[in-house]
Chains A and B, each alone.
Chain A
Amino acid sequence: NAGVTQTPKFRILKIGQSMTLQCTQDMNHNYMYWYRQDPGMGLKLIYYSVGAGITDKGEVPNGYNVSRSTTEDFPLRLELAAPSQTSVYFCASSYSGPINEQFFGPGTRLTVL
C-alpha cells in the first residue's frame, strides 16, 4: 500500500493565483481530512469528509474548497491565493468511527508571494 499520497511536495504561488492540492489514499478509508500546519500552531482542520459526496467545514475553511467524488481522492482547491495561506498542508485518512487512528500524507509546502 502506498498509504496517503500528496502532490505536489512544494509549490510557490503568486497572490491571486489558484491551485489544487491532490490527495489520494489506497486504504479504502471513508474519512478524509485536510489540515494546515503553521509553526508553533499545531494542526488546524480545514475540511473533512466522511464519505464520497459528503464534505464539511473544519476550523479554518475560508479561502478553500474541497470535493469528494470518489473514496480515494480528496482534492483541496485554493482560490485567489493570499500570503496568509502560506503553510504546510497535510491530508489524512482513517476508517470510520472514533477509535481509529489517522494516516497522514507527507505534506505540501505552499508559499504565496
Chain B
Amino acid sequence: AQSVAQPEDQVNVAEGNPLTVKCTYSVSGNPYLFWYVQYPNRGLQFLLKYITGDNLVKGSYGFEAEFNKSQTSFHLKKPSALVSDSALYFCAVRASASGGSYIPTFGRGTSLIVHP
C-alpha cells in the first residue's frame, strides 16, 4: 500500500527566511508526487509535481520541491518566505506502476505559519 508522511504538524518561520516542509513517501514502483496548498476556508490548489527527470521541480508562487529517491522524500522549499504563504500544505503520491494505486494518497497536512 502506498503512504505519505508529513512529520511536522506545524512549521514556523520568520518572513524572509527560507522554509522547508517535509514529505516522505512509500509506493510500489516509481512515484508521482504532488504538493497542494490550502488557504483558510478554500479548497486545495495544485502547487507542483514530480513526474520524471530533474529532481528539482519548480512550481507556483516561488515554491520548489526536491525529489530524493534514495531517501524517498519530496520536501517543499522556498528561498524567502512571505506572510501570505501561511497556509496548510499537503503532499500526495500516486503510483506509476501496475500494482500500485492510481488514486492519490495524501499526507495529513502541515500548517505553515510565517511570522512578520
Contacts and interface: CB of A to CB of B under 8 A. Distances in A.
Interface stretch (B17-25, B38-46, B61-69, B79-87): B38-46
What band does the interface of chain A fall in when counting residues whose beta carbon is under 8 Å from B? Answer: 20 to 34
Nearest to A98: B94
Contacts of A106: 42-43
A98 B32 contact: yes
B96 A98 contact: yes
Contacts, number: 52
B6 to A, nearest CB: 8
B104 A102 contact: yes
A99 B94 CA distance: 8
What band does the interface of chain B fall in when counting residues whose beta carbon is under 8 Å from A? Answer: 20 to 34
A105 to B, nearest CB: 5
A102 B106 CA distance: 12
A74 interface: no
Contact of A107 (B42, B49, B108): B42
Contact of B106 (A40, A42, A105): A42
Contact of B45 (A40, A45, A104): A104
26 contacts: A33-B103, A40-B9, A40-B108, A42-B90, A42-B107, A42-B108, A43-B44, A43-B90, A48-B103, A90-B43, A90-B44, A92-B43, A98-B94, A98-B102, A99-B32, A99-B49, A101-B36, A102-B34, A102-B36, A102-B104, A103-B46, A104-B44, A106-B43, A107-B41, A107-B42, A107-B43
Interface of B: 9, 32, 34, 36, 41-46, 49, 51, 90, 94-96, 102-104, 106-109
